[in-house]
Structure formats: C-alpha cells, structure tokens
Amino acid sequence: MQIEERVRALVEEKIADREDLFIVSIKMQRNGLLEISIDGDQGVPIEDCAKISRHVGFHLEEENAIEAAYRLEVSSPGVDTPLLLHRQYVKNIGRLIRITGVDGQKIEGELTQVNDTSITINQKIKEKGKKATTQDREIPFTDITETKVLISFK
C-alpha cells in the first residue's frame, strides 16, 4: 500500500464524525515531508489540524509505515493556494476569484454559482468612456487550469 493511501485512510478515520471537514491533498515529498491539506466548510481550526497530526503520527509510528525520517505537516490551504475540489468552490461562493483559463487568459469576478460541470462568476466589464457594468459568465471546469480566491482589503 502506498503511504499516501494509508495516510488518507487514517485521516478519513479521524474526521469520520466531522462532515464539515474534508481532505484536499496528501503528498509525500522526496525530502521526507508528508503534507496533509485539510479544509472545512467553515475553515479548519488549528486544534483539528493538531488532532489529525497526532492521530496520523501515532499510527504511522506504531506501524513503522515510513522507514526513513520524515516530517508530518497538517494544515489548511493558504490564501494563495489554488482551489482543487468542487467542495472548495462551493465554500467560496460570494468571494472574488481569479481564474486562469486553459488559453492562459485571466478572468476575475465574484463566484456566484457552482454546479457539477461549471462555475458562474459575476464579472465587471469596463469599456473606455463608459460606466462599468457587470455580467454573469459561465465557465466550464474543463476551461479552467487554476482558480485562486482574491483577498480584498477594502
């Protein structure tokens, strides 16, 4: 069994009673860093990251699952981390996002809807000499290479 698969099973076991939490990614880096990224519908308190870390670390040590030295890091995705899962898009409805399309074009707008195949953003359109208007734009997931939430300091 791959170490990522075992770690996924351990994390799922620990968060089984927490429907608000979900796994974003699990990666074992070549430098021995085992990264677990957890998100939640209302964010992830640091206590939950600590509980998951203790649970996973304890079982990996008990099972001697990783022979070489490793570092375990459990965290929630940072503000600069791209959205990866459908559930992360749903969580961020109402927030300003920047999408990079498969064509390299960058599009910004407020995320207003998410369905199984696409998202809808409310995009500001500014034409020279005219007042800015907004319009809804549906973007299929297949046309998106990266989506990041933008932080506004207004």
Alpha helix positions (H), the chain: 3-14, 46-63, 86-91
Q: Which residues pair with 25 in a beta bridge?
A: 37
Is residue 154 domain-resident? Answer: no
Which of 136, 132, 105 lies closest to 123, judged by CA? Answer: 136
Residue 101 sits in a domain of what CATH number? 2.30.30.100
pLDDT, tens only, 60-102:
999 998 888 899 999 999 888 999 999 999 999 999 999 999 9
**Based on the domain organization, do 91 and 140 belong to the same domain?**
yes
Is residue 80 domain-resident? Answer: no
Q: How many CA atoms lie within 13 A of 130 on its CB side?
A: 8
pTM: 0.82
Is residue 10 domain-resident? Answer: yes
Cβ neighbors of 15 (< 8 A, separation 6 or more) are 21, 22, 23, 38, 48, 52
pLDDT of residue 68: 87
**Based on the domain organization, do 8 and 58 belong to the same domain?**
yes
Query: What is the pLDDT averaged over residues 44-63?
Result: 95
**Based on the domain organization, do 51 and 90 belong to the same domain?**
no
Q: What are 70's two structure tokens? A: 């490793």
pLDDT of residue 78: 85
> Structurally, how many domains does the chain consist of?
2
pLDDT, tens only, 110-153:
999 999 999 999 998 887 888 888 999 999 999 999 999 998 77
Residue 59 sits in a domain of what CATH number? 3.30.300.20
**Based on the domain organization, do 23 and 54 belong to the same domain?**
yes
**Based on the domain organization, do 8 and 62 belong to the same domain?**
yes
pLDDT of residue 154: 66
Of 40, 75, 110, the position where a domain reaches its end is: 75
Please determine, for residue 6, whether its predicted confidence score (pLDDT) is greater than 70.
Answer: yes
SS3 (DSSP) at 153: coil
User: For residue 93, what are the domain limits?
Assistant: 86-149
**Based on the domain organization, do 34 and 53 belong to the same domain?**
yes
Is residue 34 domain-resident? Answer: yes
